[in-house]
Amino acid sequence: MRITPLDIQQKRFPRRLKGYDLEEVHSFLEFISGEVEELRKEHAALKEESRRAGNQLKEFNDLEVALRDTVINTQKFVETYLANAQRNAELLQKEAELKAEEILKELQHKVVEIHEEITELKGIRKHFKEEMTKLIESSLRKCETR
């Protein structure tokens, strides 16, 4: 059973011979009643403060969980982004290497073609020189025979 300040104030003791001083008992009961009332108010205030602190703690815990999830998700995103960037860089490097090899083969082919053209032109020049020499010799012979 809970005792209230009102229970203390209304408590009456029977009178007996050589009993306690009635005024002192009533005065003490009034004092105790006031103290209990103060303690009840303090208890109610502390209970409310505890409830608010509990709610705030729950909010902080929820916020902590949300922040932890955000950090984990951000970390996963960064790891995925870095892995993709690394793969893209490797692909670009391989593409550049293949393109360089293709260009190099093209240039080597052109060098071979140019070398063949030079050889062909040398042959044409030699043939032209021989023809010119023959023509000149033929012309000289004709001039001598006249």
The tens digit of pLDDT for each residue in 45-61 reads: 999 999 999 999 999 99
Query: Is 110 strand, coil or helix?
Result: helix
Between CA 127 and CA 32 the distance in angstroms is 138
- The domain segmentation of the chain, as residue ranges, is 5-145
Residue whose entry in the numeric block shows the structure tokens 């300040």? 5
Between CA 29 and CA 40 the distance in angstroms is 16
Query: Is 128 strand, coil or helix?
Result: helix
pTM of the model: 0.48
CA nearest to 4, candidates 35, 46, 47, 49: 35
In whole numbers, what is the pLDDT of the chain averaged over residues? 91
Mean of the pLDDT values across residues 11-17?
A: 73
Read out DSSP for 43-88?
HHHHHHHHHHHHHHHHHHHHHHHHHHHHHHHHHHHHHHHHHHHHHH
The tens digit of pLDDT for each residue in 85-107 reads: 999 999 999 999 999 999 999 99
